[in-house]
Structure 1
Amino acid sequence: SKMAALRRGIFLCIISSIFCGVLSEPRNVAGNKANGQFVNNQDNSVINREKRQKPLDNNNIPNNFNKIRNQNPGLNFNKNQGFPNAQDSNNQNYLNAAGQQNNRINPQGRNDNVIQNRPFGNNGPPKVMNQNQRFNEPPRKNPVVKISETPQCAADVQRLCSKNLRTNNFAILECLQNDADSKGISETCQHFVWGYKKNLTNDERFDTAAHEVCKDALLEFPDCGKLEPGKGWIISCLIEHKENLTNENCKQFLNKMASIIFGDYRLICNFMDKCQKDVESNSCGRLAQRDEVEDALHSQGETIKCLSEHVGTLQDTCKHEILRIAELQADDFHLDRALYYACRDAREQFCKKTKAGGGKVFKCLFRHKFDKDMNTECRSALVTRQKLVAEDYKVSHGLVAACSRDIRAAKCAIRLQDQGMPDNKHVRLSHVLLCLEASEKGGERVSPECLAEMRDWRRALMEDYRISPDIVKECAKEIMGPCKGIHKEGRTLHCLMDLARPHHNRETEIEISNTCLRAIEDLIEEADAGEDFRVDPALQEVCQPVVETQCKDVKPGDANVLNCLMELLGSDKMLEDCEERLLEIQFFVARDFKLDPRLFRKCRRVAQEVCQVDVKKWFEKKTVEDEAEMAPKRFLLACLHNHAKRKQLDRACAFEVKRVMHQRAANVDLEPRIETPCLADLGAFCSDDVEKGEEVRCLQDHMDELAERCQWAVGNYTEDEDEDPGLDRILMKACTPMIKKFCEDLLDNDATEAGEVMECLIKYKHHSDMNTKCTAGIEHHQIVTLKDYRFSYKFKEACKQDVLTNCRGMKRKADVVVCMSEILRNDTLLEQDHRISKPCRKQMKVELLQRGEDIHLDPFLEEACGMDVNRFCKKIEHGKARVVECLKKHQDQLTASCKKKLFKREQLEMKDNSVDYSLMSFCKRMINHFCKEETGPSLLSCLKKYKDEEEFDAKCRKVIITRQEIQNLDYRLNPQLKTACKRDIPKFCKDVTDNEPNDKDLEGKVINCLKIKFRGNRLSRDCEDNIREVIKEAALDYRQDPMLINACKAQITEHCLDSIAVASDGSDDGKGGVINCLKKTFEAKKITDPQCQKQIIRLLLEGKADVHVDPLLYKACSLDIKHFCYNVPQGEGRQMSCLLAALEDKGVRLKPECNKMLEERVQMWEYAAKVAPPETMGELMDQISSSPAKNYFLGIIFAIIGFLFIAGLFCGRVTKRVPAGQKNK
C-alpha cells in the first residue's frame, strides 16, 4: 500500500543514514564543519519525507528508478507502490551508498583502528540477488570487537554493567544507553559508542544476522529478502512488517536496532537539516554535529522531546520528521528514549507485568498518568506522547492496529481529501475519531477492538486538556485566568465548560471567548462525550456513587448511564457535585444533535427529511468557526419537537424526542431555544434567590417584563408545558405519583390527546389524596397560562379561529375568556344563534370551571375585589372557590366594582351550572345520584328538589341554598323564572325593569313585584308556579328573601338570635324558624319599624293567598286539607278559604295543631290590616283580591253600585234644571 511504501522509505532513509558519509568520513572529523552545518565528502542526497506523491506509474517514476527497474527486473515498482520524491530534482543519486573504506572514529581524530569494515562495493541502487546465491557465499570475516574490552569503554562497562552482559555488545549498548545519568560515562566511551552504533547500522553482517534471526520472516515477506544487503533495506523492510511477525526473537532483534537509531537524532537522516530552525526558535538546544563531544550520550533524546512538546508550533518539514519518528516509535516505549528514561520507574511500578511491544506499555502508562504515585517527569513525557497522537493518529500503535481496517472501510482518507486536505498531511486523531463515529452512527460495523481504542483516546482527550492543541491555543486566557492554571483528570476542561454556561455571565463579568467556546465544542464532539460517561473522568469520579446505587443495572454505552443520571436530576438521590458536572457536559450535548446516540440513531433519517439538514456534514472536522453550520445542530431538537406535536414523526423518533425534551427541561442551560434569547433577562430577573431548575418558572413569572424575543421563546415553551407536563420538571417531581394515581389511563396511551394530563391534574387538584406540592405546581401553571390563551393547548386548538373572529387583538387568556363568555351569555340570553363554535363552547366550559376554583385565576375579579377580600375574606384559604363563596355571602356589603364583576360571573354560573366550581365540586356525588341526566340550569333545579332528602349531602345542600339566595336577588339569575315570567315581568314590573342596571343585581325588587301579583292571582300559570316555589323556599329560609333581610336585619338580630344560630349550624336550616319568629314578634307588637312590618305583612298575605307558600301551616294542616278540602283545587286562596270555613264551622273538628296555627294566622292577618291598611287603591284591590272574604267585599261593592243606579232611576235629578241659555253665559 502507499502507507507501507512510505514507511519503508522512511526506514530506508534512517538505516541508510550510515551511507550519508559515516563510513567515508575523514579521519579528522572534528575540523570538518562549515557554518555549523554537517560536512561530508560524499554526495548528501536525501529522501524528502515531507510530501507524499500519488502512486508512481511509468511516467512519474524518477529517472534513477527507471534505471533501477531496467537493470533489476526483480524490483517491481508498479502503480500500487508509492515512493518518495527526491528532495532536489537535480540530484541524480537517489540513494547514496558508501563506496569508501570506513575509518576508525575517535574523539581526537587519531588513526587508531577501532573497527575495520571492508567496502560495500559500488555506488548506485541495490542489486537483486538470489537468496541462495547471496547467503551461500563464504561470509566475509572482520575482526569482532567487544565493547567491554575496548580501552575507551572497558572501565565504564566494568563499573556500570553486570558481568554476564559483557560478552554481548547489544546488551552492553543497552546498559550504557539506559544509564539514567550519562555523566557517569566517560567522554571517550560516549564517542566510541556513537561511532560503534553508526558503523553497526551500516555493517553487512547486520543483514546477515537479520537473515539468521528472521529467517521465517524473510520467507513470509519475500520482497524483503530480495533486497541487496549492506544498504539497510532488509532491516527497514522487516521493521515495516514487524507488527505482523510471529517470531519473538526476530521482533526483539528489530526492536534493539530501532532503539539504537532513535536513541540519537544524529542517526536519523536529514533530521538536523529540517529541524535546526525549530530547535533554535523553541530553545531546544543547538543541534550537535557528528564529532561534538559536549552533548552527553542521552541528551540527544532531549532535543526530540523538546520539539515534540512544541509540535503544534513547528514548521511543516520538522513537524513531519517528528511525527514520523513518533510513528516509528509507537510499537515499543523503549524506542522513545526520553519517555523511556522518564518512565522506567513508573513502568516497574504500574506496568511490571505488561509485555513490551504493540504499544502495550504506552497504553498502561497512559491509564496511570494521573495516579498519585506517578512521577512528574513521566507524566510530562506521557502528555508529550499523547500530544503527538493528537497530531497524527498513527503515533498510537494500538489505534492503528485495532482500527486500520475500519478506517479503510469508512474511507476516511477519501473523506479527508473531500475536505481539501492533501494526501501527505498527517491525519489528526480528531479526524479519525469523527470519521469512525460517522461510520458507526451511519450503521456501519466498527470492530469492538477499535471501539475500545476509540473510547480510550476519547477518555484521554477529556482527561487532559493539554492533549488538545486547539484548547491549549484558544483557551489559554481562560485556563490561566478563571480556571487558575492546570488541574488534572478533566477538571480544567470542566472548568472551561462551566465558564461556557450562561449562569457565569449572569453571576460574574467573566465571559468565555467565542474561539475557546468553539474549541470546547469541537473537543466534546471528538470525544463523543454524550455516548459513554466513562470517557469523562471528572464526571465519572463524582457520579460513580450515584451510578453504583441508582444505575447499577444499567449497561454502559449508548448514553444509558447518562440518561439514568439525567432522570435523577433534582432528586434527593442525586449528589450536588455530580449534578454540576453532568449539567456542564449536557450543556454541550444539548446543542449538538448527534451527541445523543439514541436520538441520532432513531431520528437521523427523519431529521434529514422534515428539517432539511445534511447530517453527514456534521461529522466533518471544521477548521474555522462557522456559526451557520452550528445553528442547525443547536436547534434541530426544537424542529423535531414541533413535528412531533403534529404527529409527523415515527413512533421511535417521537419517543426519543420526548425523552430528551423531558430530560433537558431540568435546567434552562440545556434549553438553547430559551437560554440564547433570554440571557439578559435571566441576569436581570433570575440571578438572585432562584433555585436550580426554577429559571424557567422565574421567566414565566416575569413574562410581561421580558424582552420580546425572550417573551416569545418562553411563551412557546409554556405552551409546550401545557401540552406535555413532563417538560415542567418541578411539577412532575411532585405530581408523578398523583398522575399514576388519578390519571393512570392517560399514561403511555397513544390515544391520549395533548393537554389531557394537565386537565386531569386540575380536575383532582383538591382531592383529599392530592399532594400539596403538586397542587401548588398545578396552580402556578394555571396562573401562568392566564398570560396568553396560547399557553392552554386545548383551548388554543379549540378556540383559535373563534378568537380571531370574535376577540381579535386579544392575547391574555383572561381577556379572551371574558370576551368569549360575554358572547356566549348574550347569545344565550337573546336566544340567538351561537357565534362560538361547538368545540370552543365545550372547551370554554372547562376554562370557566377552572377559573371559578380560585380568585387568582380570574385577574379581573381579583383586581375588582381586592379590598373586599382583605376586608371580609382575609383569613380564608385560597382554593376550592372559598374566597369567591366568601364574597357571595357578603354581597350586600361589597364595593360597587366587586359587586359588578361578581354579578357577571353569577350570570354565567346560573345559566350553565356546569361552570359553577363549588356546585360541581361539592355536589358531584349528589349529581351522580339524583340528577345524572340533567344539564345547564336544570341541574340546580333538580338538586333543589332533593335537597331536603335525608341522605342528601350537607355540604352540597349548603351550596344549593346559597345559590337560591343568589337567584332571589335578581330574576336574571334564575333562568327558569325569567323564562316562565318573560311576559309577566314587562306587564306588571315595567317600572322596575326600565331602570335596571345591566351589571348589578336588583336586590329582589322584580321578584317582590311578582310576589305581589301572585297574591292577586294575576300571573300566568308558569310564572305563578315558579313564584310559588320562590315564596315557599323563602318562607322556610329567611335568607332567600332579600327584601325581608334588608328591612328586618336589626329585628332579626334582636329578637331571633336563637333561630339564627339554629339556622346557621344547619341543624334546623330551611324549616322556617326565623320567619315564624318574626311573625310571632310582629303579633306581639314588638316590631315597630314600618319597613320591617311591611315585609312581615307581605309574608302573611302571601301565605293567606296560598296555604302551600306557608310551609309551617301547610305541614300542620296537610291532613285536614286532604280530608276536608280534597276536592278544592290549589291556587287563588281556595284551599285557604276552605280551611278558614272549616275553622268557623262548629261541626268540623280540625286537628289541634292546624286549628291553633290557623287561629294564630287569622289574628296576624287582622293585626296586619290594622297596622298597615292599604295606602293606595292598588293595594286595596290587591288586599281584597287576596282576602278569603273577597266575594263578600265584592258583593258589598256591587250592592252599593246597584243601589245608586236604582235610586237614580226612581228619584230623578237631585239638582234643579237650568235653561240652556243661562248655562251658555
Structure 2
Amino acid sequence: MYLNLVGEIILSDFRLVYGFIDSCKNDIEKFNCGRVSVGPVNVNRVSVLSQGATINCLSLRIEKLDSKCAHQIFRISELQSDDFHLDRPLFYACREDRERLCGGVVSGDGRVFDCLMNHKFDEGMSFECRQHLTERQRLRSRNYRADHSLTNACAQEIAENKCDTGAETSDSASSTALSSIMLCLEAAKDANNRGNSEKRAISGPCFVKMREIRKQLMEDYSLTPEIIVNCQEPIDRFCKNYKTRRQGKVLHCLLGVQRSIPINLESPFPEKCQHAIHNLLKIGEVVDDIRVDPVIRAACAPILAGQCNAAIVESDRVYGCLMEARRSPNMPEECKYHLFELEFIVSRDITLDKNLFQACARDAEKLCHFSTGSWRKHSMGDQLLANCLWSHRHPTAKPRALSPSCLVELSRLMLIRASSIDLSPEVFQVCLADLGRFCLPNSEKHVARLEVDRRNDGDAEKAAEEQGMPCLEDHLGELQAPCREAVINYAKDIEEEPDLDQRIATACVAAEDRFCSGIRQSVRNQLASVEVPPADREAFLAEAQTSLRDAMFQCLVEHKNHPRMEPQCRSAVEHFQIISLNDVRISPGFYLDCQQAIKLYCQPPTDPAKVIEPMPQSKMEVVACLSRKLLEFSLLSSTRESSTAENSTAIPPRCLRHLRFELLSRAESIRLDPELDVACHLEWKRYCGHVESGQGEAIECLRQHRRQLSPKCHTIVFNRDRLATLDRNTDYKLLSLCEPMAHLHCPHLLDDRKGYRQLVFGTDLLDCLHAASTSSAHVDTFDPQCRQVVVKRLRMQWMDFRLDAKLNKHCRMDMKVFCSEEVESDSASAFDQGNKVLTCLMKQYIASSLKGRSPLTRPCASHIRTLLIAANLNHHMDPVLVELCHGDLHTYCSEELALSGLDGDDADGLVGECLRRQVALKRIHNASCVNEVLNLNLASHTDIDVDPVLVQDCAEAIKVACDKVAPGNGRRMKCLLAAMDNPSLSELIDAKCRRSLTLRQDLWAISAKISGAPDWRQLAAELNASTSRNFIFAVTCAVVGLIFIFGLLCGRVTRRVPVNMKEK
C-alpha cells in the first residue's frame, strides 16, 4: 500500500523520477512538454498545469523521442501498467468510466486497464478516456512490457521460447515490440501443436491475453505504429469518415481501396503502407480466428450464429466455413464483401492462412523453394506461391506431386479465388489496363464510392464480380498480350475444375451433385484398386490423370440438355465452351493429347525470315483442321479391306476421343460452330428463327432447307453431313435421341470402356437402329423420335454418293466402270446436287433385264437393291422424289401422306402407289416428277422384289404360278405377266394383283413413249417385255419370208437392160 501511494506521488511529477530529467531534458524543451528550470515562462511555451502531464505529453510523441528518453518512457509505462492509479492522466480521464463500466474490478495486475480496453468502443465510454487508453495501447505496441497482464500471463512462454532477446538489457528495440512478441508466441504455439517438444506450449491465460490483444489491434488501426506512419495519406484521402468510428472500419476501408481498380493503374497506397496492412493481418491472425475482426463479427452475425457457430466449427476453421458459405442464399452481401477484402491479402500471401500453409509448408520448400523460416517474419510471401504449388497437383507432376493434405487446402483456396478476379493476383496485376478499358466504364465512380459511406458494399461487390473475369473472357480476342496469356493460363484449369469459373460455380452446384458427384471418386478408386507393375505405373497414372483432367466438365456438357439441368447452368457451361473456342490451350486435355497431330497437320506455315513465333491457334481452327484430316483418313480407310481403328486414322486414339467430343459439341449448338454461324446466319434467321440454337436443332433445320441455302452455307452443311455419315460419334441428334434404343437393341456396338458417346470403330449404328425400327417384333415399342431421325439420316444418303459410305465401299469399282463422268461431275460440286452417281448405278441395275444378268458387281447390286426397296416402301427415303414431287404430293396424295406419318415408316408404299396412279392418269404435268416416278417404276421390271407393294399384292399368285422361278433379272415379273395373259392361269391372278400389274405396264408404256425413238437394244427390250412377243416375232418372220420368196420368183419380171447400159 505504501509503495503504491509513493508511486502515485513520484509518477505525478517527472522531476521525482530518477534519471528522467537527464535523459529527457532536450525532448521536454523540444516538444514543450513542461518546465525543467525555474524562471520566467516563455510565452511561446504551452502552459502545462501539471508536471505529471509531461510524461503523458512525451508518450504522445514516442516515435520522435531520443532513444534514451524513449527508454525512460517505456520504463515508466511498465511501472504504471500494474495499477491504473499510477497513470495519473489516464486515471483522471477514466475515473467515471471505471466506476460505470468496471466498478466491480479490483485494481492491480493491470486488471482495470484490461477492463477499460475491452469496453473502449462502448457507447458509454467517454472520448477523453478512449484517447488515453489508445495512447496506452500505442506504447504497448512499442514495448510489450507496458502491458502488465501480458507480461504476467506470458512471462514463462516469452522466456522459454526466447521471444525477448533484449530482456536482459531492457532494450526497447524491435525485440520488445509487441508484433515480434506476438509472432514468436504464435510460432511456438503452432510448433507445439505439430508435436515439436522443443517449443513450450502456450498456457490458457497467455492464449486468452493474446486473443484480446489481436482483437484490440483489429478494432483500432492507430495501435499499429506502421499504419499511422505509412498509411496516413490514404486514410485521410479515402477513409476520413471512419477515423472517429474506428472499430475496424478504417482497416476494412483500406482493404477495400486496395482491391479496387485504380484509374491510373497504379496502387493508391505506397508500398510501405501495403506492408503495414499485411503485417497487421499477420499479427492479428484474422484467418486463424476471424472473430477478432469486429467488422466481420457484425456483418456475418447470421452465419456465425448458424452454420459457422463456434460450438460447431473449430475456431481456426470459422474463416473457411464463412468462405464456403459465400454462395449461400443466407450469406449477407456485406459479409461476403468484407470477407473478400481480407481474402485479397490472403490470396497474395498464403502464409496468412495457417491451415493452408501448415499443410503445404513442406511442399512449398521442396517444390517452390520457399523459405518456411520467413513465415515468422513480417515479410510478405511470394504472390505466385499458390500458383507454383497448384502446378504440381497432378500425380505425374515433376519432381513430385503435392501431398494430399496440401492439395485439399489448395483446392479450397483456388475455388475461393475464382469468386472475384482481384483474388487472382496473377491475372489482376497484368490486366488492370484491360479491366479499366472493358469492364469498368465508370471506374471514377467506382473509386469515388470508396470515399463516401459504403453501406451498400454488397451490391457494389456483386457488380464488380460480374465485371471481372467473365468480362475479360468475353473480350479475350481484344486483350493485350500479357493479359490475354494470364486469362488463358487461368482458364486452362476450368475444364478440370469447373467451379473455377464464376458462372459455373454459381449456377451448377446442384447439377454437379446430381450428375457428376461420383466422377472424381471413381477415378481415384480406380487408381487405388488396380495393381500396376512399377514399370508401367507412370504411364497408367498419366492415362488416369488424362481421364480425370476434363471428366467433370465433359460430364456437365453431356448432361447440358438433360431435362433436370438448370437453365442457368446450361448457359454457364455453353458460355465457357464458346470461350474455349478462342484458344486451343484453354482445353489442356485436348491440346496435350492432340499436340502431335496439331503440329503434324495443322501447324500454320512459318516464314524463315521471321523470328516471331506464330500466334496460338483457336480451338475452332484446330478442330476444323483435324476434322478434315479425320474425313480424309476415313475415306482412305473405306477403300481398304481392313476396318480396324489402327488402319483407319493417323490421329492418335486419345486425341481422337477428344476430337469426337469436340465435334459432338460443335454439332449440338450453332453457337459452338462459329464457321457455320457466320456462313449461315441469314439462312438461320430466315428459315430457322423459330428453333433454338442448341440440341442440334439449328443444323437439322438448315438440312431441311438445304435447297434454299446459299452456296457457302450449303457447302459447310454438306461437310458436316459427310463427317456425321462417316463417324456417327459426331452426330449429336442421332446419339442424343437414340441413346435408349441403342442400349436396348445395339449394345454390341457400344464401347463399355468409354460409355455411350464412343461407338466401336467400324460399325454403323444407323443400320442397327433401322433394322430394329422396322422389325415386326419392335416396331410398336421403338421410340418414334429415334425412328424419325434414323429415317432422316437414311434419306441423307440419297442426296449425294459422298454421303453414303456403303455405296462408296460396295460400288467403288462399278462407279469407275459405268459412272466415271457422273462421279467427276458430283465430286466437282462443293455440295449435293441431285446424286447423279446413284441415278447412273440404278440405270445399270435396271439394265440387267436386258442383258440377262446384272452388269454391277454383286455387293453393289445388293446395295442398290436395298435402296430401291426402301424407296418403294417409304417415299421419304428418296429425297429427290420428295423434292421434285412436293407440290403434287400435297395436291393428289394428301390422304396417303397423312396415313404415312411424319417419317413415312407407316406408309407401306401408299404414297408411291398414289404417285404411280396419278402419272398413269396423266394428272401430273411436272416432267421432272413424272420421270422420277417412271425411273423408280422401271426397277420393278428388272426385279419384282424391289417393289414390295407389288410383291405383297401378288404374293399368292407368285406362290402358285411362279414359285419355281428363280428371282432376279426380271424372271418372276415375266412369269406373272405370262400368267396374266394365259387364259388357263389368269384365274390365279386376283383383282388386286391384276390392278398393280396393269398399273406398272401402263407406266412402262409411258416410259417407252417419253424415251423417244429407241435404239435396237431398247426395241429388243420392249419386244421381250411384250406379252405378244411370240406373235410379233412370227409375223415379222413371215413378212421377211414373203419378201424373199417374192424376189426369188418375180425378180425377172422387170424389163431386161443390156450390161453396157447398167455400167453406164
Q: Which residue of 1 aligns with 2:423?
A: 670
Q: Once superposed, what is the RMSD of the aligned Cα atoms?
A: 3.5
Task: Supply the distance in 2 between the matched residues of 1:437 and 1:957 (Cα, whole angstroms).
Answer: 71
Match of 2:15 in 1: 266
Provide the secondary structure at the position in 2 that maps to 1:609: helix
1:1112 aligns with 2:949: yes
Secondary structure of the residue aligned to 2:306 is helix
Structure 1 residues 945 and 425: alpha-carbon distance in aligned structure 2, compared to 1, 3 A threshold: closer
Judged with a 3 Å threshold, the aligned counterparts in structure 2 of structure 1 residues 364 and 451 are, in CA distance, closer, same or farther, namely: same
- One-letter amino acid of the counterpart of residue 482, structure 1: F
1:1032 aligns with 2:869: yes
Task: Find 1:946's aligned residue among 763, 766, 772.
Answer: 772
CA contact (8 A) 2:962 2:972 kept: yes
TM-superposed deviation, 1:656: 0.9
Corresponding residue of 2:205 = 449
Aligned counterpart for 2:30 among listed residues 281, 287, 309: 281
**2:275 alignment counterpart:** 518
The question of whether the paired residues in 1 share the 8 Å contact of 2:845 and 2:861 is answered with yes
Structure 2 match to 1:993: 823
SS at structure 2 position matched to 1:947: helix
Match of 1:3 in 2: none
Q: How far is 1:298 from its partner?
A: 7.4
1:337 equivalent in structure 2: 88
For 1:977 and 1:353, the matched residues in 2 are separated by 101
Q: What letter matches 2:798 in structure 1?
A: N
Picking from 88, 113, 130, the partner of 1:362 is 113
Q: 1:1203 and 1:1038, CA in 2 relative to 1: closer, same or farther beyond 3 A?
A: farther
- Tell me the distance in 2 between the aligned counterparts of 1:1185 and 1:448: 118
Report the CA distance shift for 1:1029/1:352 in structure 2 as closer, same or farther (over 3 A). same
| Cα distance change of structure 1 residues 274 and 1153 upon mapping to structure 2, 3 Å threshold | same
Aligned ranges 1:691-840 → 2 under 5 Å: 691-694=463-466, 695-749=468-522, 750=524, 751=526, 753-809=548-604, 811-831=617-637, 834-840=649-655
Map 1:870-881 → 2, pairs under 5 A: 870-881=685-696
Distance 2:88 2:707 in 1: 99
Q: Tell me, yes or no, if the aligned pair for 1:1104 and 1:1186 is still in contact at 8 Å.
A: no
Matched residue, 2:359:
602
Determine the structure 2 residue equivalent to 1:389: 140
Question: In the alignment, which residue of structure 1 is the partner of 2:997?
Answer: 1158
* Contact 2:881–2:929, Cα closer than 8 Å, also in 1: yes
Aligned to 1:221: none
Matching residue of 1:587 = 344
CA–CA distance in structure 1, aligned partners of residues 1027 and 163 of structure 2: 116
Counterpart code for 2:357: F
With normalisation by structure 2, the TM-score equals 0.84
Following the alignment from structure 2 to structure 1, what is the Cα–Cα distance between the partners of residues 1017 and 316? Answer: 90
SS class of match (1:898): helix
State the SS of the aligned residue for 2:176.
Answer: coil
Q: Which residue of 2 aligns with 1:685?
A: 438
Match of 2:458 in 1: none
CA contact (8 A) 1:662 1:729 kept: no
920-929 vs 352-361, which deviates more?
A: 352-361
| 2:248 matched residue in structure 1 | 490
Q: Is the 8 A contact 2:434 2:479 kept in 1?
A: yes
Is this contact kept in 2: 1:1174–1:1180, CA < 8 A?
Answer: no
Please name the residue that 1:127 is paired with: none
TM-score by length of 1: 0.74
TM-superposition CA deviations, 1:929-961 (whole Å, max 9, x none): 222223455211122222232221110111011
- Opposite residue 765 of structure 2, the aligned amino acid is L
* 2:322 aligned counterpart, secondary structure: helix
Give the C-alpha shift of residue 682 in structure 1.
1.4
1:983 aligned residue: 813
Moved more, 873-882 or 373-382: 873-882
Question: CA separation in 1, counterparts of 2:392 and 2:517?
Answer: 26
Q: Is the 8 A contact 1:764 1:770 kept in 2?
A: yes
What is the SS of the residue equivalent to 2:668? coil
Query: Post-superposition shift, 1:791?
Result: 1.7
- Range with greater deviation from structure 2 (641-650 or 374-383): 641-650
Q: Is the 8 A contact 2:166 2:175 kept in 1?
A: no
Q: Is the 8 A contact 2:901 2:907 kept in 1?
A: no
| Kept after mapping to 2: 8 A contact 1:754/1:794 | yes
Query: Could you tell me whether the CA contact under 8 Å between 1:266 and 1:290 is conserved in 2?
Result: no
Aligned pairs for 1:837-848 within 5 A: 837-848=652-663
Indicate which of 566, 574, 580 corresponds to 2:331. 574
Which of 695, 710, 713 in structure 2 is aligned with 1:898? 713
Rounded to whole Å, the distance in 2 between the matches of 1:1181 and 1:678 is 83
1:1100 matched to 2:937: yes
What pairs up with 1:911-950 in 2 under 5 angstroms? 911-934=726-749, 935=760, 936=762, 938-948=764-774, 949-950=779-780
User: Cα distance, 1:388 vs. partner?
Assistant: 0.4
Using the alignment, how far apart are the partners of 1:300 and 1:1196 within structure 2?
Answer: 155
Q: State the partner residue of 2:804.
A: 974
Q: Which amino acid aligns with 1:481?
A: R
Deviations 1:266-319 (CA, angstroms, capped at 9, x unpaired): 111221232233234334343466999999997223221121122122222221
Q: 1:1137 to 1:868 in 2, by over 3 A?
A: same
Q: Deviations over 1:25-82 (max 9, x none)?
A: xxxxxxxxxxxxxxxxxxxxxxxxxxxxxxxxxxxxxxxxxxxxxxxxxxxxxxxxxx
Distance 1:561 1:1196, change over 3 A: farther
State the one-letter code of the partner of 1:264.
D
SS at match of 2:964: coil
CA distance in 2, matches of 1:981, 1:1189: 34
Q: Distance in 1 between matches of 2:159 and 2:1038?
A: 130
Larger radius of gyration: 1
Say whether the 8 Å CA contact 1:471–1:519 is kept in structure 2: yes
Q: Does 1:1004 align with 2:835?
A: yes
Within 5 Å, give how 1:142-541 maps onto structure 2: 252-287=1-36, 299-413=50-164, 427-442=176-191, 443=194, 444=199, 445-485=201-241, 486=243, 487-503=245-261, 505=262, 511-541=268-298
- SS at structure 2 position matched to 1:525: helix
Cα drift, residue 1217 of structure 1: 15
CA distance in 1, matches of 2:942, 2:1031: 16
AA partner of residue 1173 (structure 1): S
SS at match of 1:1112: helix
Distance 1:414 1:1211 in 2: 153
Per the alignment, residue 447 of structure 2 pairs with none
Q: Distance in 1 between matches of 2:434 and 2:59?
A: 48
Separation in 1, partners of 2:801, 2:1039: 41
1:317 maps to amino acid: K
Return 5+ residue gaps in structure 1 as ranges.
Answer: 1-251, 623-629
Aligned ranges for residues 543-562 of structure 1 at < 5 Å?
A: 543-552=300-309, 555=312, 559-562=316-319
Please name the residue that 2:1011 is paired with.
Answer: 1173
Residue type of the partner of 2:402? L
Equivalents in 2 of 1:1213, 1:489: separation in Å?
A: 141
Secondary structure at 1:634's aligned position in 2? coil
Provide the C-alpha distance between the structure 2 equivalents of 1:447 and 1:1208, rounded to a whole number of angstroms. Answer: 145
* Aligned-residue offset at 1:1196: 8.5
SS class of match (1:721)? coil
Q: CA deviation at 1:985?
A: 0.9
Percent identity (aligned):
34
**1:712-740 C-alpha deviation (Å, 9 max, x unpaired):** 11111111011111212431332222222
CA displacement 1:569-624 (0-9 Å, x = unmatched)? 233211111111111111111111111111111110111000011121232235xx
CA shift for structure 1 position 386: 0.4
Say if 1:275 and 1:318, in contact at 8 Å, map to a contact too: yes
Q: Does the residue aligned with 1:446 lie in a helix, a strand or coil?
A: coil
Deviation at 1:554, TM superposition (A): 5.8
Shift of the 1196–490 alpha-carbon distance from structure 1 to 2, 3 Å rule, reads farther
Q: CA deviation at 1:1129?
A: 2.7
Gaps of 5+ in 2: 443-461, 527-546, 605-615, 638-646, 750-759, 849-854
Change (3 A) 1:617 1:1143: same
Match of 2:537 in 1: none
Change (3 A) 1:535 1:360: same
SS of the residue 2:881 aligns to:
helix
